[in-house]
Amino acid sequence: MRKLIAFTALALTAISLIACSASVTPTPKVQPTLAAVKSSGKIVAEGRVVPARSASLGFQVAGVVAQVPVAVGDRVESGKVLAQLDTRQLELQLAQADANLAAAQAKSSQLKRGATPEDLAAAQQALKSAQVSYEKLLKPDPSELSMLKADVDKAKALLDQAQAAYDRAGGDSNPYAGMLPQRAQLQTAWIDYQKALTAYNLKVNPSDAQIQQALSAVQTAKNQLAKLTPAAEDIAAAEANVKASQAARDLAAEQLSRAKLLAPFAGNVASLDLKVGEQVAIGAPVVRLADYANWQVETTDLTEINVVNVKEGDPATVTFDAIPELELTGKVASIKGFGDNKQGDIVYTLVINLDKQDERLRWNMTAKVSLAK
């Protein structure tokens, strides 16, 4: 019986231990932080290889791609054309702007130069003649009216004579009236009389069209004379027009120049995102250019705790995961003044200038930077 009790107690104890063991919560694994590792009095930070100079480039005008004379990987010099848009419309706009500028300059020069005495005298005489003609139209000369009235009376007398001769020959009752010479003479006399009468009536009562034509001639003569004797404000306006035309021409030339995408520095074409015939928008990144001949290293996890112990000019040692045997020295070139929030830590970017380059380095390779504390 005692053995049974002892066995039972032992079994209960084992079950209790197993239950306790099952209820224990496992200890969570500690996640690594971004803080730089301190080792042997040094600050160690992760980094990445970047070109000393790089740029994402886009056109400053919209248009259709006409040429792409480079390919990915090409080495180009500063000022090299990387891509060009179709410039036909821009060239026409520039030609129009050139023409407008030339016209504005010619007008300004003419106003400043002024008229010769001969031109001025001729313009004054033309105005005087136009004014005299207008005044005569409204108030005709009595002697001229008398002459026109005499022409009317003479034509009327000839018409009466022709009518009498025609009537003596039988008039319209003559079966051969259409063949009579008196009929032809009567028609001529009638036409001459109507002409004389019309001339007289127009002189006495000029038509609206005649008056408007005379007024237009006077105004044209005044305008011509004004052009030869410009006022100060006319010269100022002409000069302002020249400046405006010059600005429009310069803008058209600038727009034309922007149709070419030029390399701002010597480097390699890292990427191309355009093809001939494609439409591109203003500012859209289409070419990435980088200087592969000069690499730098930028840190990615240097915390605010460690950045205070670093200053520009401090020496650094850099190693690379992809090239384990490579170790390069350099110096801190700059420290980014603004900290970024990275997974809860504030980190600062250091730029390391390498003392020596290595042709095996590539963009965004992982690096480890060691700095003396």
CB 105 within 8 A of CB 242: yes
Instruction: Identify whether residues 212 and 268 lie together within a single domain.
Output: no
Cβ contacts of 363 within 8 Å, gap of 6 or more: 49, 50, 51, 270, 290, 292
Same domain for 277 and 183? no
User: Are 373 and 316 a contacting pair, CB within 8 Å?
Assistant: no
Give yes or no for a contact between 300 and 48, defined as CB atoms under 8 angstroms apart: yes
CA distance 332 to 312: 5
Residue 191 sits in the same domain as residue 269: no
Cα 102 versus chain centre, distance: 21
Does 11 fall in a domain? no
- E runs forming strands in the chain: 37-39, 42-51, 54-57, 63-67, 75-76, 81-85, 260-262, 267-272, 279-280, 287-290, 295-299, 302-303, 315-320, 327-335, 340-342, 345-348, 350-354, 366-372
Residues in the chain: 373
Which residues are within 8 A (CB) of 335 and not within 5 positions of it... i.e. 6 or more apart?
A: 307, 310, 311, 312, 348, 349, 350, 351
Domain-ending residue, one of 247, 273, 289: 289
> Is residue 296 in a domain?
no
- CA–CA separation, 193 and 160 (whole Å): 10
Per-residue pLDDT band for 117 (boundaries 50, 70, 90) equals: confident
Looking at the domain assignment, is residue 44 inside a domain? Answer: no
Q: What whole-number distance in Å separates Cα of residue 242 and Cα of residue 110? A: 13
**Which residues are bridge partners to 213 per DSSP?**
none
Q: Same domain for 222 and 272? A: no
In a shared domain, residues 193 and 146: yes
Domain-located, residue 263: yes
Taking residues 74-81, what's their average pLDDT? 95
pLDDT of residue 175: 86
Domain contains 18: no
| 239 domain-assigned | no
Ranges 36-50, 134-148, 230-244: which has the least confidence: 36-50
Provide the residue type at 108 as one letter. S
Confidence of residue 360 (pLDDT cuts 50, 70, 90): very high
User: Do 164 and 204 lie in a common domain?
Assistant: yes
Residue 369 has pLDDT above 50, yes or no: yes
Between 40 and 81, the more confident residue is 81
The boundaries of the domain holding residue 277 are: 57-86+259-289
User: Poorest-confidence range of 36-40, 146-150, 253-257?
Assistant: 36-40
Q: What pLDDT shows up at residue 15?
A: 38
Higher-scoring residue by pLDDT: 12, 89: 89
**Is the model's pLDDT at 20 over the cut of 50?**
no
- According to the per-residue pLDDT averaged within each range, which of 40-54, 153-167, 312-326 is highest? 312-326
Better-scored residue on pLDDT, 184 or 136: 184
Instruction: Confirm whether 110 is domain-assigned.
Output: no
- Is the residue at 265 inside a domain? yes
Confidence of residue 4 (pLDDT cuts 50, 70, 90): very low
- Of residues 312 and 174, more confidence is placed in 312
Q: What is the pLDDT of residue 19?
A: 41
CATH number at 268 reads 2.40.50.100
Report the pLDDT averaged over residues 320-344: 94
The answer on 219 and 126 residing in a single domain is yes
Considering only residues 112 and 237, tell me which one the structure prediction assigns the higher pLDDT.
Answer: 237
Average pLDDT rounded to a whole number, residues 152-176: 89
CA angle 355, 356, 359 (to 5 degrees): 150
Q: Which token pair is 81?
A: 């054309």
Q: Are residues 189 and 267 both part of a single domain? A: no
82 plus 123 within the same structural domain: no
262 strand-pairing partners:
81
Number of domains in the chain: 2
Q: pLDDT tens digits, residue range 184-221?
A: 998 999 999 999 998 888 888 888 888 899 899 999 99
